């Protein structure tokens, strides 16, 4: 199996995990770890694969690949900043954190 094909399989499994946890959360299913923490682990990994263009055949790079995914460090830093801002916004006055 080629490198692009392996990354393509990883990309689709991560997307399926993201979609599954999102559906469970929307249905308000209490799934323990799966609904509480799985998205926090799956989404950054999935976005990193998308930003870096892993699993795509070589060709013209997308906007994300040209900007956020031009190097592993830029992709990781942009995901860290976005994740930090997301967690910070969830701790606002209208959050469920008590």
Determine the distance from the C-alpha atom of residue 55 to the mean position of all C-alpha atoms in its chain, rounded to a whole number.
15
Average pLDDT, the chain: 84
Higher local confidence (pLDDT), 36 or 97: 36
pTM of the model: 0.77
d(CA 38, CA 86): 16
- Residue 56 φ/ψ, nearest 5 degrees: -105, 145
Average pLDDT over residues 37-44: 86
- Residue 94 φ/ψ, nearest 5 degrees: -105, 15
Specify the DSSP class assigned to residue 29. -
Cα distances from 62 to residues 18, 29, 59, 88, 95, in angstroms, run 22, 36, 9, 29, 35
């Amino acid at each position: 199996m080629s490198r692009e094909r392996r990354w393509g399989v990883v990309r689709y499994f991560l997307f399926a995990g993201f979609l599954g946890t999102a559906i469970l959360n929307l249905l308000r299913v209490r799934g323990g770890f799966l609904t509480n923490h799985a998205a926090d682990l799956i989404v950054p990994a999935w976005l990193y694969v998308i930003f870096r263009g892993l699993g795509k055949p070589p060709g013209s790079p997308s906007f994300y690949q040209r900007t956020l995914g031009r190097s592993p460090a830029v992709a990781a830093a942009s995901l860290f900043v976005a994740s930090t801002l997301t967690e910070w916004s969830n701790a606002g006055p209208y959050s469920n954190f008590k």
